[in-house]
A and B are shown apart, each in its own frame.
Chain A
Amino acid sequence: MATSVYKTSAYNRISRQVWDHSATALAMLSTLLVVTPLVAIFVYLIYKGASSLNLAFFTQIPKPVGESGGGMANAIFGSALLLAIGSLLGVPIGISGGIFLAEFGRGGRLANAVRFTADVLNGVPSIVMGIAVYSLIVLPQKHFSAFSGGVALGIMMVPTITRTTEEMLLMVPHSIREAALGLGLPNWRSVLSITLRTASPGVITGCMLAFARVAGETAPLLFTAFGNQFWSANLDQPIAALPLQIFVYAISPYDEWHRLAWAGALVLIVLIVVSVALVRFVTSRGVLKGAS
């Protein structure tokens, strides 16, 4: 390898130039190949989704097969409810875990183990999470429920929030903590209202990222929230969710349902992209610049 640097014959110089340019071209080509499907997905979503989107989509519940029209109002509401339960469960646990990692366990063996477990948990397939929650909550209760779906989503949020909270807290300068303690604040007060508050834009970013990630999850809801064709706000009953409804409609043989699936996908994507873009906007001008 290193010898090619020393050889200076004309042939070598040309071949090295050729290699250099072809590598550049290949890198550009692969970037193009990666961007293409993304653009294609968005173009199709907007083209197919926008043409099927109307007011009824947001106000009506699904119609039976054969009838045209209908919407996904119950699924949108269901998704919001599931995400609210998930956030209520996942955000406090996740942030507390992050506080432990950054403020108390720093460098310790326990903290390293927790951090590693969180990273591993982050990679566990969501369908496995669905099975676990099914056997933990649904089987003993003997019926599907919105609550179990929310728990599954909440568990999935924890590792992401923990890790981002930790990273953000680690960026808070020590002098701020020392100033707080020097003024006589008890440690818990200093952590909560000084350190965490300073890092709050970054912590909120982490929560939003976790939120955006689970908002599109379908697999853990398949046998927990299960889906529902009707209005339901009962935590103890099966409930519809936007990703579930998209899945059911996409694999159905009816054109009308395919249309609704595209519209649902567009709504879901807009929701997620808006939250991710918001997050980037906040972090690029917040206290912790470049910290996403």
Chain B
Amino acid sequence: MAGDSAINSSKESSAASGAAPPPPEASLVRKFLQSRGNSAGIDSGFRGLMIVCALAIFAIVALILFELIMRSRLSMAKFGVGFFFTQAWDPVSGEFGALPFIYGTLVSSFLGLLIAVPLAVGVAVFLTEMCPGVLRGPLSFLTELLAAIPSVVYGLWAVFVLVPLLRVHVNPLLAKLLGWTGLFGGPNYGIGMLAAGVILAIMILPVISSLTREVMNSVPHSQREAVLALGATRWEMIRMGVLRNARIGIVGSIILGLGRALGETMAVTMVIGNRPEIAKSLFAPGYSMASVIANEFSEASDDLYLSALVEIGLALFIVTIIVNALARLLVWAVTRGTPARVA
């Protein structure tokens, strides 16, 4: 607003000076302009500075990649591709294999998605299509607030509230109902893969639901009206008019949620149990790629140990970049025209 008034006042003053009757001689104008200096130099300098800052973003990504590759050369040379397919994790004897961590990351993330996706789509449908206007603002503010809570606070809550809840109430029930699948057997500590999946679901919900909402909002109203005019019920309108048109964007937002889940560190570290083993039961403690780095990086005693951990980080970096790029492309394909918001 201050800018507006500044413009107005300068407009007025220029109008006043323009109305001054005696037009100055050409040489005077030229003299005046020259006395103000030539802005071309400063302009191109400014432009260059802005370009440098924009290129800094490339530089950051390149630098991260370069550092990670440099620091993980030792482990790459020693273990090769087999690093990602062996289970051994023994810092004492210098045997390193990343398979348990990859397994833990994948299983906990997919568990999180399995819980979060139906809920997130449900919330998005409710908020865009069904919600009375009074509730829409507060509810969307609440779901956005979920995204603002730091992951260490989620972890704190999970350790002291969610884990006891799972141990005492949910896990025995699951063992009784679904114990025959073998996924819900064995000792019940509370912490473990299932707890990690649940806390991940809570954390990625806002990401998925806010992007899904955005994609659904970008479906033209004429689509909804056309389906309703054919006599469809509201659910049929949502299913045929909205969800079908928005499906690519919804898949994109789910993949973006997956990207978040794969890289999530603190909350998972606090509840996953931190044991480098592959177990069939979801009650069993596991380990994820991000949490092994968080736990062991600052105590890595020798170079090989450190470079094995950095190699896990490199794998995580590359996977999340691919996942995010894919998701962005899908979301852009739908919301093209309106620039995608920052999640």
Contacts and interface: CB of A to CB of B under 8 A. Distances in A.
Contact of B54 (A97, A116, A186): A97
Contacts of A31: 122-123, 126-127, 139
B341 interface: yes
Which interface residue of B42, B57, B125, B234 has the most chain A CB atoms within 10 A?
B57
Nearest to A119: B328
A158 B60 contact: yes
A117 B58 contact: yes
Nearest to A2: B240
A51 interface: no
Nearest to A195: B3
A223 B55 CA distance: 27
Interface stretch (B85-93, B152-160, B214-222): B152-160
B35 to A, nearest CB: 13
A20 B139 CA distance: 22
Interface residue tally on A, bucketed by range:
35 or more
Contacts of B43: 186-188
Contacts of B202: 37
Which interface residue of A159, A215, A216, A243 has the most chain B CB atoms within 10 A?
A216
Contacts of B16: none
Contacts of B121: 30
B53 A97 contact: yes
Contacts of A164: 342
A268 B7 contact: no
B119 A222 contact: no
A194 to B, nearest CB: 6
Given A41-B153, A159-B57, A197-B2, A136 B126 contact: no
A129 interface: yes
Interface residues of B, number: 107
Interface string A20-50: 1001101111110111011011001100100
Contact of A41 (B149, B205, B310, B313): B149
B51 A100 contact: yes
B53 A27 contact: no
Interface stretch (A56-64, A65-73, A229-237, A244-252): A244-252
B56 to A, nearest CB: 5
B298 interface: yes
B145 A273 contact: yes
B294 interface: yes
A19 B236 CA distance: 9
B47 to A, nearest CB: 6
B53 A34 contact: no
A104 B290 contact: no
B298 A120 contact: no
Nearest to A216: B150
Contacts of B324: 119-120, 122-124
Contact of B157 (A41, A93, A101, A272): A41
B310 to A, nearest CB: 6
Given A125-B316, A128-B313, A216-B152, A105 B54 contact: yes
B150 A272 contact: yes
B14 interface: yes
Given A34-B209, A131-B297, A262 B240 contact: no
Nearest to A271: B150
Contacts of B152: 216, 218, 243, 246-247, 250, 265
A44 B298 contact: no
Contacts of A124: 61, 64, 263, 317, 320-321, 324
Given A16-B233, A125-B265, A265 B153 contact: yes
Given A29-B122, A101-B54, A247-B152, A35 B139 contact: yes
A180 interface: yes
A37 to B, nearest CB: 5
B11 A246 contact: no
Interface in B1-49: 1-4, 6-7, 10-11, 14, 39, 42-43, 45-47, 49
Given A117-B57, A180-B7, A222-B294, A265 B260 contact: no
Contacts of A35: 139, 142-143
Contacts of A218: 150-152, 265-266
Nearest to B317: A128
A22 to B, nearest CB: 8
Given A41-B157, A123-B259, A127-B313, A33 B61 contact: no
B159 A250 contact: yes
Interface stretch (B65-73, B169-177, B276-284): B65-73
Given A123-B259, A132-B63, A160-B342, 10 more contacts: A2-B240, A23-B125, A29-B122, A34-B205, A37-B202, A120-B321, A127-B293, A167-B339, A188-B39, A262-B156
Interface of A: 1-2, 4-5, 16-17, 19-20, 23-24, 26-31, 33-35, 37-38, 40-41, 44-45, 48, 92-93, 96-97, 99-101, 103-105, 110-111, 113-114, 116-132, 134-136, 139, 155, 158-160, 162-164, 166-167, 170, 176, 179-180, 183, 186-189, 191, 193-194, 197-198, 200, 206, 209, 212-213, 215-219, 222-223, 226, 243, 246-247, 250-251, 258, 261-262, 265, 268-269, 272-273, 276, 280, 287
> 3 nearest interchain CB pairs?
A216-B150, A125-B263, A30-B122
10 contacts: A5-B232, A23-B125, A97-B57, A101-B54, A125-B290, A188-B42, A194-B3, A261-B156, A262-B156, A272-B148
